[in-house]
Amino acid sequence: MKVSLKVSLSGAGRTAILLPMKHHRPLSAALPALPPKLRTVAASALLWSAISVLGALQTYSDNLRAGLASYYPSLLVTWFIEYAVPLIVLSAGLSILLARWPALLARPRNVVLLFAGLVVVFQPAQWTYMAWLRGYLPIASLTDAWQLLLKMLLVGWFSTTATFAAILALHYARRARERELAWQRSQSDMLKLRLALEEQRVLALHAQLEPHFLFNALSAISALVRDDDKTLALKGIGRLSDLLRYTLSASVRTTTTLAAELQFVRDYLNLQRLRYGERLRVHIEGECPLLHDVECAPLLLQPLIENALRHDLDCREGPSDIVLHFAREGDAMFIRVTNPLNAHTSPNPGAGLGLANMRDRLRLVHPAASLRAGPQGGRFVAEVRLPLADLN
């Protein structure tokens, strides 16, 4: 029996390596209803029971080839009691300990101390347990103790050390997986937070824009009322209602098309024409079918036109000279709104809504979009660049 046990130790090392190929999922996954600690103990017991079955089978086969009388059930009991039970205690206890205090492995020094505890405490306890099962106890003298130590010195080292290494590897893999999941959750939370912030920025920009537009439109109608032109004032109210429908729909959208924006600008100019009459002249150049495909932020063009009107018609006599020009240049659509400079007014057409505000609205739809504004050749030019990469 002593020879067969020593031979079976090497067999245990071989069969333990084959088990992961046979089981396609962790043993703990088959025990979802148990509490975590009991699930750990049960998984360890199932694993080492399977190893005991295979180890006893290997020992039984080796004994048959050696011509030794052998009985498989007794070999299985011996394997389980002598080898599996201590290793079940080790693997389950170490797994529970590391799950409860993962900081034990935070430093390499702690790993060395754990292994030292295995050598100093567990291994002698395992030897004493096996010696008791084999009838090597009690010990009558120091010589008997020394002989017992020599007999047991090589027993269980491989399986014990391999179990310790496997538990540590599983613990590190589990911690790495937890860190990866935590990182993924943090990235997902950050993305959701950024999206929520962008949505709030869009809502804030719309909330700022719509009262601004409504105030200026009502100012145009109030001018007609002051002039006692009731017919034109009523027409203005009707056209204002059409414009408000567009602004309300724009408040729940983040994008629209340049064609829709251009039509809105035309409706807005028709409303303003009730106030300015024939003095209002806006030249639209470069209109093409591509405008139906280019996306932009809602209410993008109207503020530029409105500011150009305020710095042209309201600052001098005679007709306006405002140009709205569309042009595709390479991979971008350029929108230019120009009006004459007036020496008696500020050359900044972004007053009111604000150029910074408009740049923010542009970036919400097109991160690569831009807005430039400034005097050029006696005129003030506001130029918007929209990328066309999505259309290619």
185, 215, 250: which is the final residue of a domain? 185
Of 48-57, 223-232, 327-336, minimum mean pLDDT range = 223-232
Together in a domain, 162 and 21: yes
Distance separating alpha carbons of residues 202 and 52, to the nearest angstrom: 66
* 383 and 318 belong to one structural domain: yes
What percentage of the chain exceeds 90 in pLDDT?
Answer: 10
Residue 28 has pLDDT above 80, yes or no: no
Same domain? For 31 and 74 the reply is: yes
Query: Alpha-carbon distance 190 to 83, whole Å?
Result: 50
Residue-level pLDDT at 348? 46
Domain count, the chain: 2
147, 248: one domain: no
pLDDT, residue 207, reads 54
Quick one: 75 and 22 in the same domain?
yes
Q: Which residues, in sequence order, are bridge partners of residue 337?
A: 324, 382
* pLDDT per residue as tens digits for the range 352-387: 456 677 777 777 777 888 899 888 888 899 999 998
Closest CA to 322 of 310, 334, 304, 308: 308
Q: Are residues 151 and 197 in the same domain?
A: no
On whether both 181 and 205 belong to a single domain, the answer is: no
Q: Which domain-ending residue is among 185, 205, 234?
A: 185
pLDDT tens digits, one per residue of 192-218: 777 666 666 655 555 555 566 667 677
Alpha-carbon span 312 to 310, nearest angstrom: 6
User: Residue-wise over 8-22: b if at least 16 C-beta within 10 A, else e?
Assistant: bbebbeebbeeeeee
Bond prior to 340 in cis (omega within 30° of 0): no
pLDDT in tens, 43-96: 777 877 787 788 778 887 888 887 887 778 888 887 787 777 887 888 777 787
Nearest to 272 by CA among 203, 218, 341, 231: 218
Burial 36-54 (b: 16+ CB within 10 A, else e): eeebbbbbbbbbbebbbbb
Whether 180 and 323 map to the same domain: the answer is no
Note whether 176 and 212 are same-domain residues: no
* Strand partners for 381: 338, 374
Predicted confidence (pLDDT) at residue 317 exceeds the cutoff of 50 = yes
Per the model's pLDDT, the better-predicted residue between 352 and 136 turns out to be 136
Nearest Cα neighbor of 80 from 123, 48, 36 is 48
Q: How crowded is residue 294: how many other Cβ atoms within 10 Å of its Cβ?
A: 23
| Amino acid sitting at position 36 | P
Which residues, other chains included, contact 304 with Cβ-Cβ below 8 Å and sequence gap of 6+? 337, 349, 382, 384
Residues 148 and 227 in one domain: no
CA distance 163 to 123: 12
With cut-offs at 50, 70 and 90, classify the pLDDT of residue 5.
Answer: very low
Point out the domain boundary residue: 153, 185, 217: 185
Sequence-distant (≥ 6) Cβ neighbours of residue 283 within 8 angstroms: 322, 323, 324
- Average confidence score pLDDT of the chain: 75
Task: State whether 209 and 133 are in the same domain.
Answer: no
Q: Are residues 167 and 223 in the same domain?
A: no
pLDDT at 8: 37
Q: What is the pLDDT of residues 245-293, one digit of tens each?
A: 887 777 677 788 999 999 999 988 888 887 788 888 999 999 999 999 8
Instruction: Tell me: pLDDT of 345 over 80.
Output: no
In this predicted structure, what is the pLDDT of residue 11?
A: 36
DSSP type of residue 324: E
Domain that holds residue 380: 188-391
CATH of the domain at 245: 3.30.565.10
Q: What is the pLDDT of residues 165-190, one digit of tens each?
A: 777 777 777 788 888 888 888 888 88
